[in-house]
Amino acid sequence: MAQNKTALVLSAHSADFVWRAGGAIALHQKKGYDVTIVCLSYGERGESAKLWKQEGCTLEHVKTERRKEAEAAAKALNAHDIQFFDLGDYPLEIDREAKFRLVDVIRKVQPAFMMSHSHYDPYNTDHSYATRILMECRMIAQAWGHNPGQKVLGAPQLYLFEPHQTEQMGWKPDVFLDITEVWDNKRAAIECMAGQEHLWDYYTNLAQNRGNHFRRNSGGQAGGRNARYAEGFQSVYPRTVDEL
């Protein structure tokens, strides 16, 4: 039986994958990939202000609500799997044991590509930290001396998804993905994030702007594709090709 292709999305907090890679997740699921999402934390301290404004709110309550929102969003995107490491946020801290746990997931999934945050984020160091950890875990997963007998990882591309306040992050997209056909899934996933309603329209506008960039870069007026919604990504590793 042929196995589906796979992908892995690493989200520092439980909602990040929705705004930044929701279209990529839904689209690749539609194309027959099994996409696994790993949320390192729930963003329970730093990205849940609306919940904390409720009287009598507790950390456990916020985590439960954030988990429910993220699971509903993953379902709206038809994601194959979502896992929560519950490592805490603001600051996110990952010890050796948690790194090996992530390496185990990477080796089990054997992703064709991975996604995570921008390299630099002066507003949110949890985000850039998650990507640094993912690069470290990619390296460990490629090491033949780590847990000999497990299937060693190849060289999946790492795509950095679009941060908030894009220009401040030194993030520069080199790939645009047309997500028009799964936009309804992404918008539905966005609307699962009740605690961050102030971001819904912002990320709709962003997808439209990136749709414009897709159109321009796919040929513009001279035959470009009429993408209405897109996501931008910055790739980290070189591609290996037979033709240009």
Q: What is the largest CA-CA distance in the chain?
A: 61
Min dist CB 87 to Zn ion, Å, is 13
In the complex, least distance from residue 103 CB atom to Zn ion, rounded to whole angstroms: 22
Q: Look at the block and give the residue holding tokens 């329209």.
A: 201
Residue closer to Zn ion, measured from CB, 156 or 163: 163
Q: How many residues touch Zn ion (CB under 5 A)?
A: 3
Smaller CB separation from Zn ion, 44 or 178: 44
Using the minimum distance from each CB to Zn ion, give the nearer residue, 13 or 138: 13
- What residue number has its CB nearest to Zn ion? 13
Among 16, 44, 69, 121, binds Zn ion (CB under 5 A): 16
Nearer to Zn ion, 87 or 141 (CB): 87
Q: Which is nearer to Zn ion, 199 or 236 (CB)?
A: 199
Distance in Å, CB of 155 to Zn ion, minimum: 27
Amino acid identity for residue 121 in this structure:
D
Stretch that binds Zn ion, among 7-15, 21-29, 96-104, 146-154 (CB under 5 A): 7-15
Among residues 83, 90, 177, the alpha carbon closest in space to that of 129 is found at: 90
Could you say which of 6, 9, 13, 229 contacts Zn ion (CB under 5 A)?
Answer: 13
How far apart are CB 89 and Zn ion at their closest, in Å? 8
Strands 157-161 and 230-235: antiparallel
Q: How far is the CB of 12 from Zn ion (least distance, A)?
A: 5
Cβ-based neighbours of 52, under 8 Å, separated by 6 or more: 62
Residues 36-95 that bind Zn ion (CB under 5 A): none
CB of 75 to Zn ion, least distance (A): 20
Binding site for Zn ion (CB under 5 A): 12-13, 16
